[in-house]
Amino acid sequence: MRVVITGGAGFIGSHLTDRLLSEGHEVSVLDNLITGNFNNLVHHQNNPRFQFIHHNVSNHIHVIGDVDWVIHFASPASPIDYLHFPIETLKVNSLGTHNTLGLARTKGAKYLLASTSEVYGDPEIHPQPESYWGHVNPIGPRGVYDESKRFAEAITMAYHHKHGLDSRIARIFNCYGPRLRLDDGRVVSNFIGQALTNKPLTVYGDGSQTRSFQYISDLIEGLAKLMAVDHHEPVNLGNPTEKTVLELAKLIKELTKSKSEIIIKPLPVDDPKRRLPDISKAKKLLNWSPNKDLVEGLTETIAWYREQLKIKV
């Protein structure tokens, strides 16, 4: 197959590119690199089945030749990024989604939207099933991401119903692993970076807010399985094991043997108190659930960050 991946130089997009190239497919990556990094793809630059196009997909997309899949991952995806790039985030998840859907329709290609657990906002239902409509503040600081992803889902379903586009929607919950930027602002990269440099681990609120953490290889397997089924409504992909942020901080401190202290700071506006996926649909539809143990995954991730920071064990 020939696959076009937007945002393919980012954390998840680059791992998906690895997977598709390893299976013998052709991959064309479109990325403007505002949050992505070509270093995530540099090992493919001499592969004749790989193409990189520096492009902002919020503008018109022109791709020469046949395309079998369009996979839309382009978007700032962490609070620090979408708060720094609010207009760009709104554009890439609205105009960019429209443009990629148009590309898929023109090429007669299948389509996969990378959506997010953020569509649930600060949820009032726990855990969150795909049938839950969410609890989102549209004008809060996180609204630029939350609402634009909700719009992205809406226009994807509209293209499916109106034009018969063969689409998929993955609602991705917290994911971690190698290539997650150290300055990404998400809790795993924050804690590991702070721990390895013996800086204080910053826990917001009282640390009782919960998240669930899936390793990158589990997510990529889930995405591959979603591509293989005929299902058009959203599917949660995440880890159904709940962990408090304070528990995660203590675990990372232990695994890194860090001397860092844990300090408490005020909770950011609209920060979700609990976040946990109901993956019943993924289990039944895809025969998928994450299997990487958190300690094992964090150990591998910490080793990668040590290499990036040139820190000796």
Q: Which residues pair with 51 in a beta bridge?
A: 28
- Residues with Cβ within 8 Å of residue 126, at least 6 apart in sequence: 274, 276
56/3 Cα distance (integer angstroms): 17
Q: How far apart are CA 145 and CA 260, in angstroms?
A: 32
**145 counts as catalytic:** yes
Could you tell me the CA-to-CA distances from 214 to 221, 231, 243, 250 in Å, in that order? 11, 22, 11, 18
The answer to whether 77 and 13 have CB atoms below 8 angstroms apart is: no
Active-site pick, 145, 159, 176, 305: 145
Beta partners for residue 176, in sequence order: 215
Closest CA to 109 of 58, 166, 57, 61: 166
The set of catalytic residues is: 145
